[in-house]
A and B are shown apart, each in its own frame.
Chain A
Amino acid sequence: MPRSVVSLICGLVILTGNACGAAGSPPPTPGGTLVVAIGAEPDALNVYLARVAESLLVANRTLPRLAREVVTPAGRQDPFEPELARAWSFQDGGLTLKIDLQEGARWSDGQPVTCEDLVFTLRAQTDPAVAWRGASIKRHIRAIDCPDPRTALVRFTKTYPGQFMDANDLHILPRSLKALPFDKWRGADWAKLLPAAGPFRVAAVRPGQEIVLEKNPAYWTKGRPYLDKVVLRVVPDPTGRVTGLLSGEFDVVETISPGDARRAAGQMGVTILRRPDWAYSYLGWNTLDPAAWKDYRRQREEACAAARQTPCLDDPVALAALRRSRPHPLFGDARVRRALTLAIDRQTIVDSVLAGEGEVPASPLLAGLPEHDPQAEPLPFDPAQAKALLRAAGLADGDGDGTLERNGRACAFDLLVQAGNAPRRGAAILIQQNLAAVGCAVRLVPVENSAFYPTLAQRGMDAWIGGWRASLRVDMTEMLHASACAAEGNNYGCWSESEADRLASAARDTTDDAARRAAWRRWEKIFLQEQPYTLLFRPTLLSGVRERVKGIVTQEPGDALHGIENWWLAPGPARP
């Protein structure tokens, strides 16, 4: 049998949860150095100062978390795997979360991991000098009490779904950092300051080149990790990462493009691992007339100036009235949005732009979560139905120029797309072709990446291709709710539907699991009907792994090195 076929089969076996050749295979071999190629340099070993996603690759190996968030393809009721928290339960009618910490958990400086570390971490997370961008997640946590070193009582100000998720967010820091004032944290030498309690500790940082992690002898699970060292090599060039994987210079390439994956998969000794991404790309429709928003903001700022009101917050009542009185001439109509979704061949976008490595999502809620209705299907690609729906909405080609019109307004609009995002740029070109076929002219407007979202915040666009990272905490009020239409909110298209808003608010606040699921499923139905966004694709994340790396069971979306403490290297030379 050709080696490439063996590679493919082994890859599939790994993905289904069994190590390749598990039956009769040798036991794990401790030792060895795993070399991982990553695309960007982590910016901070202290995760609360980090902006770059790669920093989590280090923090997940070195700092403990209470539990690990996981979503398997089949879905599960409890999305947590215990880590530092051995067990947890709610008391006082849900206002107190009792956490039992692992026995024997220690920092690499010899100090035990105790409840005091959790108390200190909460202080760091919420201190303005640290300026952690997720600080608001902790707004409902009043305090953490420590009846004994191994027990923590997290006190909440109210009960709500996702309390454990909020308590679990993010890594635990050692209380020994108390000695360094928070305002001195930025720019501190964390390689020296930060002890580890995860399976690895930082051995060396070579800026611009690599971070070397070594086995942490203080790790609480005996006999783990198997690997002696993990070297995270920074390789900014994607071709360099793939070439290094093929030549055996790297054992793992954390993220690989679909095109490179196809090239690498044909080579001996390389397996491509797939994991679903939590992020998706969508085509957003502005439901509010851009001119109306401009007028409203000017009036609002004049009113604020007259009243000397700073900051100049939006007026929710005025905004709601504006949505009713001055909708977007095209996309304020749900029939038009639905028709344009039907006219876009999203599967072809996945096939051509992502080389088939992705899916067309039906809903912004993660598939596999109980809140998501597994029966929900994305709207089909049906240009004939799209044309009929546009006709029903009053759009017709009155002047015979090939473009539809309604009330003197042509179905012609600008589509904003991030200049530096190749998949979305590719999708925009296909969308332009699809919509031209039903009589709508699209002008593509590339916008520089860092200016993209600030441009959306100005609300001057007709439509845009954006992205959103879904989470285990389902809360669409941040994105598609009347309250998020304000200038600083993330509802850029200002879509609002009274029943959907009511359901989203109720589902966000209720602790009744069944009621919450039912509410979100009804919300999903309205989303599908209304199409405030046309969901384009959710990519599959790909990693390249050499076959000598064993013990990979599953891969989680946010972490290509998930479960690395159980990985081991088959004996033999690193290079093929």
Chain B
Amino acid sequence: MARPWSGEAVILRLLARSGSAGVTLFVVLALAFVLLHLAPGDPLGLADDPRITPGDRERLREAWGLDRPLHSQFASFFLRALTLDLGVSLRFGRPVVEVLAGALLPSLLLAGTALALAWGLGVVFGTLAGLFPRGAAGFLVHRLLPGLDALPPFWLGLLGIWLFSWKLGWLPSSHMTAAGEDLRLADLATRLILPVLTIALPGAAPFARHHAAALARELGSAHITTARALGLKPWRIALFHAGRPALLPSFALLGLALPTLAGGTAVVEVVFAWPGLGRVQQEALLARDLPLALGGLLLSGGLVIAGGLLAEGLAALADPRHRRSGR
């Protein structure tokens, strides 16, 4: 028999999960470090520069610490990382922490807004489709949104730019600020519209589909039959008694989608010249910028772990069964 709910048990469980996730992160980091070093190519891009003499090449490698043995490089990277010193980015010439911190907020803003909108639209459309599966909502959830989800994001983004920026001139096509101007909230809001919709419209499809299915399942369950027998209003049953537990799959999906906050929107960031983490990490890999690539991995790994824990916490809030220890 399950023990009654205990807040302490949930916190302990989340702490234990964080510990094991930390070990996983360390292993992933070590593997990435080795793989990035094993990959062919030259992080300093020296091989194709004829001006650099063999002696200069050695000098440059020494200046960037690339001449030391691999284990020594990893040890110093890891020890410095503990003090939040991730070195200097080869690609951007600035401290890695500064580069990542500068890109994190734009990414969180873009991906967070898009994810929230995708989830919100998904739940609304899913509720309608769950209640009226044969109506327009059903068509939207089971036909139109999956169609949008199947489109490559860059294509949808370019389509939006072509229509709303070039042809109609309604919305700006890129960047967080107007050229040469400081950040203004109203301007930022208009600049968010196209990239957010590019991510959120297709992104709403899985939320809507799962929520519609879960709601239909809940509506056929015994406790809903009891609620109907007790004479509760249909809208109350749909929204609260069936709707609340039906949210669980969408929360689980939300947890799985949270890693997109940490660089999962690279393509959209490139198309809309958005200065986010995805773009930074893409450039780091293309430029073989090892300090930045590893720093990005550390950050995105941390965010994935945090996302997983958050999803678990949300699930515990939505369903008392998840609050019990040992599950």
Contacts and interface: CB of A to CB of B under 8 A. Distances in A.
Determine if chain A interacts with chain B.
Answer: yes
Contacts of A239: 158, 161, 271
A233 B47 contact: no
A237 B285 CA distance: 17
Given A50-B93, A51-B91, A575 B288 contact: no
Interface string A90-123: 0000000000000000000000000000000000
A361 to B, nearest CB: 17
B139 interface: no
A129 B59 CA distance: 9
B173 A247 contact: yes
A316 interface: no
B179 A237 contact: no
B51 A43 contact: no
* Most chain B Cβ neighbours within 10 Å, of A210, A233, A452: A210
A457 interface: yes
Contacts of B280: 208
B60 A208 contact: no
A206 interface: yes
A376 B287 CA distance: 38
A244 B176 contact: no
B93 A44 contact: yes
A236 B270 contact: yes
Given A134-B51, A210-B179, A450-B41, A235 B174 contact: yes
A572 to B, nearest CB: 17
Given A209-B177, A237-B273, A247-B166, A133 B60 contact: yes
A172 interface: no
Interface string A420-455: 000000000000000000000000000011111111
Interface in A222-265: 229, 231, 233-237, 239-240, 243-244, 246-247, 249
Contacts of A461: none
Interface residues of B, number: 63
Given A43-B92, A231-B180, A468 B57 contact: no
Given A233-B273, A235-B174, A453-B47, A207 B180 contact: no
Contact of B50 (A311, A454, A478): A478
Contacts of B216: none
A187 B94 contact: yes
Contacts, number: 158
A479 interface: yes
B51 A137 contact: yes
B56 A247 contact: no
A468 B48 CA distance: 9
A136 interface: yes
A144 interface: no
A229 B102 contact: no
B51 A136 contact: yes
Nearest to B90: A51
A131 interface: yes
Contact of B54 (A33, A235, A488): A488
A49 interface: yes
A135 interface: yes
B49 interface: yes
B94 A237 contact: no
A346 to B, nearest CB: 22
Contacts of B82: none
Contacts of A449: 41, 286
B169 interface: yes
A452 B48 CA distance: 9
B46 interface: yes
A208 B94 contact: no
B237 to A, nearest CB: 49
A505 interface: no
B50 A468 contact: yes
Interface in A158-173: none
B88 A187 contact: yes
A279 to B, nearest CB: 11
A136 B59 CA distance: 11
A310 to B, nearest CB: 11
Contacts of B130: none
B95 A187 contact: yes
A51 B60 CA distance: 12
Contacts of B283: 40-41
Interface string B231-274: 00000000000000000000000000000000000000011111
Interface string A442-486: 000000111111111100000000011100000000110000000
Most-contacted residue by chain B among A135, A137, A207, A467 (CB, 10 A): A207
A301 to B, nearest CB: 16
Among A229, A453, A456, the most chain B Cβ lie within 10 Å of the Cβ of A453
A212 interface: yes
A59 to B, nearest CB: 13
Contacts of B53: 136
Interface string A125-148: 000110101111100000000000
B45 interface: yes
28 contacts: A33-B180, A51-B45, A128-B63, A129-B63, A131-B59, A133-B56, A136-B53, A208-B274, A208-B279, A209-B175, A229-B180, A231-B179, A233-B175, A236-B273, A240-B173, A243-B158, A249-B172, A249-B173, A249-B179, A449-B286, A450-B39, A451-B40, A452-B48, A454-B42, A467-B48, A468-B50, A488-B57, A575-B169
Given A207-B102, A208-B275, A243-B162, 17 more contacts: A40-B283, A43-B93, A128-B59, A133-B51, A134-B51, A136-B52, A136-B53, A206-B275, A208-B102, A209-B273, A229-B180, A247-B166, A249-B179, A311-B58, A449-B41, A449-B286, A453-B42
Interface of B: 39-42, 44-60, 62-64, 88, 90-95, 99, 102-103, 106, 154, 158, 161-162, 165-166, 169, 172-177, 179-180, 270-276, 279-280, 283, 286-288
